[in-house]
Amino acid sequence: MITLNEARSIIAAAEAMADEIGQPMNIAVADWGGHLIAHVRMDGAWFGSVDIAIKKAFTARAFDISTCDLAKLARDGGDFFGIDASNQGRVMIFAGGIPLCREGRAVGAIGVSGGLGAQDQSVAEAGTAYFAARELPVAA
């Protein structure tokens, strides 16, 4: 489980990277079921990216794969072509969604949107790195 305090800390780490690259972002953290725990829309971030960030977190957790990697599999002719039409349109295949793991198991995800794909990905990676550095045992 990811607590609200952990979600806020993950978001803060991601925000620091967004500030560093000069790109305001929407940053969402979802729980093990893909449900939103916390979201931040940084000052100046596109309001159209709120939904995208939340859906990236859902997607990363729903399939336990980064949205960046899923996008490669979802290309025309790929094994997962058309997956973005599943789950009532909740699947997002743009870079910026990454599962959050403890002891090798996905327990949540981060979703970031508001910049170019590489920017979204780097901000999500910063949040993920913060979480991984503070890994705690999974509760039984």
Give the CATH number of the domain where residue 96 resides.
3.30.450.150
Q: Is residue 43 part of a domain?
A: yes
pLDDT band at 136 (very low <50, low <70, confident <90, very high): low
Express each pLDDT in 25-75 by its tens digit. 999 999 999 999 999 999 999 999 999 999 999 999 999 999 999 999 999
pLDDT over 60 (residue 138):
no
Amino acid of residue 39: H
Q: Which among 51, 39, 46 has a CA at the least distance from the CA of 15?
A: 39
pLDDT for res 140: 44
Q: Is residue 115 part of a domain?
A: yes
Q: Is residue 138 part of a domain?
A: no
| Bridge partners, 102 (sequence order) | 105
pTM of the full structure: 0.93
pLDDT band at 9 (very low <50, low <70, confident <90, very high): very high
Average pLDDT, the chain: 95
Q: Is residue 18 part of a domain?
A: yes
Q: Is residue 124 part of a domain?
A: yes
Q: Is residue 34 part of a domain?
A: yes
How many domains does the chain fold into?
A: 1
- Owning domain of residue 60: 4-133
